[in-house]
Amino acid sequence: MIGKLVSKNTRTKHQKKVVQLTIDVPYSQAKTELVDGDDLMEFLDVRVGDEIGFDITALDSQDQEALG
pLDDT value for 57: 84
Residue 68 is assigned to a structural domain of this protein: no
Residue 13 is assigned to a structural domain of this protein: no
pLDDT value for 64: 64
Residue 38 is assigned to a structural domain of this protein: yes
Domain count, the chain: 1
Residue 33 is assigned to a structural domain of this protein: yes
Please write the tens of the pLDDT for every residue from 19-66.
Answer: 999 999 999 999 999 988 889 999 999 998 888 888 888 877 666 666
Residue 60 is assigned to a structural domain of this protein: no
Q: What is the span of the domain harbouring residue 45?
A: 23-51
Question: Are 39 and 46 within 8 A, CB to CB?
Answer: no
Residue 47 is assigned to a structural domain of this protein: yes
Above 70 in pLDDT, residue 68? no
